[in-house]
Structure 1
Amino acid sequence: MDKLYIKYFKQHQALSGEIISSDFKVVVPVYLEEDDLFKMLESVQKAATFSGSSVELILVFNYSELASEQIIQRQVALLDRVEEHRTVFESTGFDLTILKDYSVAKKHAGVGHARKTGMDYAAFSYVTQEKYDGIIVSLDADCTVSDNYFSALNECYSKKCLSGCNVYFEHPLAGNFHSEVYDAIAEYELHLRYYIQALRYAAFPHAFHTVGSCFTVTAEAYIKAGGMPRKQAGEDFYFLQKVIPSDKFEEVNNTCVYPSSRPSDRVPFGTGPSISAMLESKEEYQTYNLQAFIDLKEFIAIKDELYQMTDEGIESFTHQLSGRIRSYLVNSDFFPALQAVKDNCSSLEVFQKRFYEVFNAFRVVKYLNYTHTHFLEKMNVFDAAINLYEMKYEQALDVFDTKELLLAYRQLEKS
């Protein structure tokens, strides 16, 4: 086993156990999912059968050291139900592995720790078999997938040498919840898609969704990225920012993950809390002002001028930009950080790539937060999204409600 892998597993103490050979290892955190878990199991099993792929589904049952006796009993009872039905789901090429991530320290307890536990286990299993390109799939217990899910992933990975990929997703817009829930999820999903399309309009190269139930990575990429962080929310974003810049990360848009549209308060931020907040406030979702991305586009378009620029030239450079982004650049640590990178760039081509080590996705978020604190007001998501679409494609879009506009944005990504 390579020294890199030995060091990682020594540091993170990956769980040992039976090593199962499989094409895919699907990691699913499970926390009080009585209503959805078996739907997910049926969906993943069906997709595995459809593709003929061998799949190990790794269920990580988890709870905090502060969990109430009721939560502990519910988790144990749900695990027992899965064990009772194991023979119904397991078949040739489809295996269930159950991990117990119990009594986790308060500061680490949450979905990030559970996802890490399962992904460490999956990576250890692959590396033990010297299958460094083995595919680890991140999914959630309240999701279902298209029948061609594994077939589409197989096709994508077989054609290219990838580190990972983002899988297309759609939240259900109708079903058993109250109509207000589906109105809210349509707005939130439109925000997610508007944000990615706005970054692409600005020519930011690392614009991908970072949804925890909708990505895959190889075992090698997972370990080189340092594994999943033990965050209670946003673990997917932090982790994927270490994988996406490899330039071996792509989208798979010919299949679909269907995350739940339900409100939730299990994590500090993200889809569930956003839906809950909209239902409570009864106000339309507010997203980043389109002007912030127009300013960003102007900056990225002239970034190459910074390669050979001295400190004396910075002031004249920044005056080519709007006052909003100029203020952010001058009042943050951007220029000192960029200088440290410039000192190690042997050519413009190297600089063009390493520029995004400094102006990365984290800095984009900091810039957006700064400019909305000091200069811009957020926009309601319908107005922002329709303005972007019409500006980017130079055509009027004949839609009248959020769901219609969301369908147009979904089509953009699928095509």
Structure 2
Amino acid sequence: MNAQRFSNKGDSQAKYLLKYAEPECASILDAGANLPRLGKTYCVVIPAYKETPQCVARLLTHPHASELLIVLVVNQPPSAPATASSTNTHLWRWLLEQGRTSWATNTCAQTDAPASTAKLALIETTSAAILCVDRFTQGRTIAEDQGVGLARKLGADLAVALFAQQAFSHPVIFSTDADAHLPANYFAAQQQSFACNSASSAWVYDYTHNSTGNSAEDTEICQATQSYEQAIKYYRNGLAWAGSAYGFHTLGSTLAVSIAHYCQVRGFPKRAAGEDFYLLNKLAKVGTIKNINNSIIEIDARTSDRVPFGTGPAAQKIISQWHNEKQYHYYHPQCFTLLKSLIDNQVTIWQAIQTGRTPLFIDNELDTENQTLINNALTALNIQRFVNHASKQTRNEKQFSRQFHDWFDAFLTLKFIRFIAANKYSDLPLQQCLARAPFNQG
């Protein structure tokens, strides 16, 4: 990579591209004047494993298609079956037929590779431009333990490099999936929020799942997926009601991320699943996460083995439970009530630090058993380590509150909920959770 290009800049994007971006980004940066001047407005990143061309065809007819640069990372693990490789090959060949290949490369040094064997190929269609990324052919596959996380990171890193090359102008990476249908106002809704909240680190769209067919199996898959959707929206609403700074969805298909903040937190983690959760967990500590509720993404309801956990596997698990005449259970509403008590009364922990009082947490409106339960949960989360840090680094209540929210992040919040569930408030059938919850289920 041409380091001289950034030698006098020192900003987070330059540092990220030089030190932390995936190697393929060097091809974009070193292309220089050889890279076509695209002049696009928005960049959408999509990982594609065993997907049909329909996912791209939809974008090519989107109302804003002429303003789009699509980064499509066609990928698979080394152990993928032959059918997956065949599907990926069909998608790749279809992509190359959609327009003129204006740039292609195999390595940083080679910028004249034939599109059919290129690692990166830039296709300019009559509407959008598509940067096709080959991570599915032999020698280019993605390791199982890095999976979709690396696919998203590679796509987003390339978006950062393309932004540095002025291939598009809006400083946001739109992250979605092949099964997502983007609404007509998808870009306008984010841009409207961006105009009012340009310092935000990310935006999360509302979404809904729809059936992909009319068969009994399609209906069952859709119903199971919608049950899981209800559960994670219930969880999101519970966190928001409790006052958590992490009350937002964490689906990779519904994200828009500030390029500056993406670089600041060093991008998507290279994980086989949960990469969206951990990225947003980091982004929430360096900026605000805004919910976009006036633009709803429609997602195909389908089971999936693409990732070890997430919506597809969860839907399959729910269907299996139904077939065994079992109900789908989820976190008891009281878990969120105790979470709210902790967040509302976090100042008592600060007071305990100042006075040496035990227990750390107090809420006089709770009975002794539930106060003890919360303190036991905090002990299990190793709060003493945080207390030791806060006692040395925190000078006032405001600083403590900020540090507490950074420590008690989305991951520890989930562990807190699970501790409460495991030690007193067992999971209930989902419909009972929805009926009993003291927060809105919208």
Please confirm whether the aligned pair reaches a TM-score higher than 0.5, indicating the same fold.
Answer: yes
Deviations 1:328-375 (A, max 9, x none): 112331132133134222322222222111111111111122222222
Indicate which of 278, 281, 292 corresponds to 1:252: 292
* RMSD of equivalent CA atoms: 2.5
- 1:208-257 deviations in whole A, cap 9, x for unaligned? 10101001112111111111111111000001111123343211111121
Among 165, 179, 190, the alignment partner of 2:203 is 165
Residues 120-162 of structure 1: CA distance to partner in whole angstroms, max 9, x if unpaired? 0001111344989611000101111111111212212123213
Q: Establish whether residue 91 from structure 1 lines up as the match of residue 126 from structure 2.
A: yes
Return closer, same or farther for 1:148/1:5 CA change in 2, 3 Å cut-off.
closer
Distance 1:344 1:97, change over 3 A: same
Provide the residue aligned with 1:47 in structure 2: 63
Amino acid at match of 2:57: L
Q: Match for residue 123 of structure 1?
A: 160
Question: Is 1:9 matched with 2:52?
Answer: no
Which residue in 2 is equivalent to 1:403? Answer: none
The structure-2 alpha-carbon separation of the partners of 1:163 and 1:22, relative to structure 1 and needing over 3 Å to count, comes to farther
Aligned counterparts of 1:374 and 1:334: Cα–Cα separation in 2: 18
Task: Give the whole-Å Cα distance in 1 for the aligned partners of 2:186 and 2:278.
Answer: 25
Q: Aligned with 2:285: secondary structure?
A: helix
* 1:8 CA displacement: 2.1
1:176 matched to 2:209: no
Rate the CA distance shift 1:325–1:251 in 2: closer, same or farther, 3 A. Answer: same
Q: 1:27 to 1:371 in 2, by over 3 A?
A: same
Q: Does the C-alpha gap of structure 1 residues 81 and 128 become closer, same or farther in structure 2, counting only changes over 3 Å? A: closer
Give 1:77's aligned residue: 90
Partner of 1:30: 48
Instruction: Pick which of 150-159 and 236-245 moved more.
Output: 150-159
Contact between 2:228 and 2:311, CA under 8 Å: does it hold in 1? yes
State the identity %.
Answer: 24
Question: Residue 75 of structure 2 is aligned with which of 39, 62, 67?
Answer: 62
- SS at structure 1 position matched to 2:266: coil
Cα contact 1:32–1:74 (8 A) shared by 2:
yes
Cα deviation, 1:386-406, whole Å, max 9, x if unaligned, reads 211xx346xxxxxxxxxxxxx
Q: Verify the 8 A CA contact 1:22 1:54 in the aligned structure 2.
A: yes
Match of 1:398 in 2: none
Return the match for 1:149 from 157, 180, 186: 186
Task: Give me the whole-angstrom Cα distance separating, in 1, the residues matched to 2:384 and 2:126.
Answer: 57
Unmatched segments (≥5 aa) in structure 1: 394-408
Instruction: Summarize deviations over 1:284-315 as a string: whole Å, max 9, x none.
Output: 32111111111111111111122242373132
Report which stretch shifted further, 9-18 or 273-282.
9-18
Q: Deviations over 1:34-57 (max 9, x none)?
A: 2xx4155324641315xxx72101
- Structure 1 Cα separation of the partners of residues 70 and 246 of structure 2: 29
Q: Deviations over 1:237-286 (max 9, x none)?
A: 00111112334321111112111210112211110001111112213321
Kept in 1, the 8 Å contact 2:348–2:362? The answer is: no
Q: Tell me the equivalent position of 2:386.
A: 337
Paired letter, 1:264:
S
Matched, 1:229 2:301: no
Farther off after superposition, 372-381 or 16-25: 16-25
Kindly report which structure 2 residues correspond to 1:333-372, keeping only aligned pairs within 5 A, or say none. Answer: 333-372=382-421
Alignment of 1:385 onto 2:434: yes
| Maintained 8 Å contact 1:43/1:147 | no
Which of 306, 309, 313 is equivalent to 2:349? 306
Contact 2:75 2:135 in 1 (8 A): yes
Report the alpha carbon displacement of residue 383 of structure 1 after superposing the two structures with TM. Answer: 1.0
1:132 and 1:342 map into 2 onto residues whose CA distance is 45
List alignment gaps of at least 5 residues for structure 2: 1-5, 29-34, 101-122
